[in-house]
Structure formats: structure tokens, C-alpha cells
Amino acid sequence: EAYDAGDHESFMHKEMLEQPARAEAVLRGRLDDKFGTGHLGGLNLDARELRAIKRVKILGCGSAYYVGQMGASLIEELARIPADAEAASEFRYRNPIVEPDTLYVAVSQSGETIDTLLAVQEIQRKGGFVIGLVNVVGSAIAREVDGGIYLHAGPEVAVASTKALTNMYLAFAMLAVQLGRVRDLSIADGRRLIAGLNAIPGQIDQVLAAEPELAVVAKSLAEAESLFFIGRVRGFPVAREGAQKFKEISYRHAEAYQTSELKHGPLALISTAVPTVAIVPDDELVERNVAALHEIAARGGPLTVVTHAGVDLGDLAGKVERIDVPKNERELDPILLTIPLQVLAYHAALSLGHDIDKPRNLAKSVTVE
């Protein structure tokens, strides 16, 4: 069956709105409510082998790398295994140390990104075990890895990735729960997270229902030449992905920063002409994050705050654009915080009259070095 944009003005719009259904597809048959764990048969690793993993190294490019950073935090939090993500495009050039008790994870929508493929081959050349989180069935990376999780996002045409990234995140969450459950993650915590995962498709739908209001905010952000996206810990890769999406299709300069690093330099750039999109989840850092918002407001910086209903912005309330997303389990919040950032980028680009699906200078997949 042909995949076309149907009634949508672009593939990106169609693909954003498909997310609830595609999220259900990646979770289907892979969640065990009873024992609070994931069922990821394609990993080709039994419980004992999963237990023997001492470290996780995630490799991807661009947005896949940023989702990899979200995945690394999920794995560290839920399984308490040291995990980190690295740009696959850099990996092979630094003569990487490949260890037998490390699980390598290659993340790619297309499965054809040359840098990610060459990272997989370098790992295998050095005897490492690598799994793939890949969308396109039978793609080069899917064929070369030692095991993996298909993302079931369906075809993705728009250069700016949306639904594939969401499903990468959900695949990481299932992997993290499964790695956690062969270690110290309790059955109760496992069930709590599985229930959280089951709620995500419906919650994505709720975020997308706010599209008309988000479009208004986007239009005013599109007027700025330069923007900041800030977040910390779990929220930082969200900010990175938000800035990436914004710059890809609006061609505005969008820079992601850790909220905690603002005062170490970039605060100098804050002015009435430089808006900030701040990721402020209702978590253990909320008070610090709100304090940082005051620093920005004191310098006249316009603020858009992506947050949760319970968060009290104090005297900033009414002076900032506030976007509330539904609350899930704290560990799973990043994906819901990411969805409005897609919609903001999309409507900013639309208001500027850009070609949404084929932004200048970019290709859907980068298959040559």
C-alpha cells in the first residue's frame, strides 16, 4: 500500500500525528504486566547474559544520538548499569576500546546511516556484541547487528524525524526495564513502569490535541533569529532534540544548553530578542529549574516553559508561555516533554513558509561519508 501524506499538508505533520498508533505498535506484545518486565526476544540474550552486562554504550547520529542519551539515562536509572551515548560519526576515529562485557546499541531510523553502520563494523571487528534499534526492516544495520529491536514506526518520509524517535525512546525504556529486572529493579517498580509505558500512546494524543495553541506559540518563536533550549539531567537531551528539530526546519539558530551551565557563559546572550524554551519537569530538580527561569526573566529573556500541571512558577506565572504535558512516571517523562517541541518546530517552519519535508541542505539518510 502506497504511503502518502493524505489530507496532511506534509509528511512531517502526518508522521507526528501517527505517533500514538505507532507507539502502541512498538510496545505491542513486548510488555509483561504480570512480572513488570519487557519481552525483547530479538535481543538474542538470555537472563544470565543480560545480567553479565557491565556497561552500555549507545551509538547514533543526530537525533538518534540525542534519543540515545535519553536511553542511557533510562538504563542508568532503572538498571544501575553505567551507560552513555556517543555520536557514531566520531566513534571509529578515536580507536575506541571495545570490551566484551559491554552491550553496544546502534540506533537508527533508516538503518543505512553510514557513520552508524561503520561504528557497528568497528565494534564487531574488535569482537564486541552489538544490537540495533532500527526502524527499516532488512536495512544494512539491521542485517549486520547481533540482535535487536525493530521500531515498528512505519515508513518515515520527512527529513525531520518524529515517530521513529518516539519509538526509539520506547524501545530504550523496554530495554532498560528488562535490564533492570534481571538486577535490582523490583517487580513493583517494573509494574509501575510497564503501566507508565502503556499510558504513553494516549498521553501523546493529549499533547498533540494542543496543536492549535502550540501553533500560536511557535509563530512568535519563529520571529526570533536565535533561541535557547535548556534542560538538565533527563531534560537535557530533550532540549538538544528540541533545538535540533527547530533548526532543521525553521533555519533559526537554536542552541541547547544545560540549564545549570547558563551562568557559566551563555547567560551573556540572554536579551529580549533571544527567547528560551525551558524544559521543567515536575522532578527533583524543579526548584532549581524555576530559579534559573528567574535569572532569564530578570534579563528580559522571553520564556516558553514546557512543564507539568503541578509545577508552581511563582511570580513568573502569567508572564511566560506555559505548555503543560501529561505526567507519567518521572523516568518516562522525557518523551512526553519532547512531543510539543516537534509541534513548535513544525509550526515555526510553516509560518516561515519553508519546505517542511525537505529542508535545505539535508538528506533523510546520510549514506556517504
Looking up cell 519481552 gives 39
CA–CA separation, 273 vs 31, rounded Å?
47
In the complex, minimum distance from the CB of residue 188 to ligand AGP, in angstroms, rounded to a whole number = 35
- Judged by CB, which is closer to ligand AGP: 311, or 350? 350
Ranked by CB distance to ligand AGP, the top (closest) residue is 62
Contact 117, 91 (CB under 8 A): no
In the complex, minimum distance from the CB of residue 115 to ligand AGP, in angstroms, rounded to a whole number = 8
CA–CA separation, 176 vs 74, rounded Å?
6
In the complex, minimum distance from the CB of residue 204 to ligand AGP, in angstroms, rounded to a whole number = 17
- Judged by CB, which is closer to ligand AGP: 320, or 343? 343
In the complex, minimum distance from the CB of residue 275 to ligand AGP, in angstroms, rounded to a whole number = 21
Contact 253, 228 (CB under 8 A): no
In the complex, minimum distance from the CB of residue 2 to ligand AGP, in angstroms, rounded to a whole number = 21
Q: In angstroms, how far apart are the furthest CA atoms of the chain?
A: 57
In the complex, minimum distance from the CB of residue 279 to ligand AGP, in angstroms, rounded to a whole number = 18
- Judged by CB, which is closer to ligand AGP: 102, or 113? 113
In the complex, minimum distance from the CB of residue 360 to ligand AGP, in angstroms, rounded to a whole number = 13
- Judged by CB, which is closer to ligand AGP: 276, or 342? 342
- Judged by CB, which is closer to ligand AGP: 111, or 196? 111
List residues binding ligand AGP (CB under 6 A). Answer: 61-64, 108-110, 113, 116, 159-161, 248, 365-366
- Judged by CB, which is closer to ligand AGP: 86, or 321? 86
- Judged by CB, which is closer to ligand AGP: 229, or 296? 229
- Judged by CB, which is closer to ligand AGP: 108, or 276? 108
In the complex, minimum distance from the CB of residue 311 to ligand AGP, in angstroms, rounded to a whole number = 28
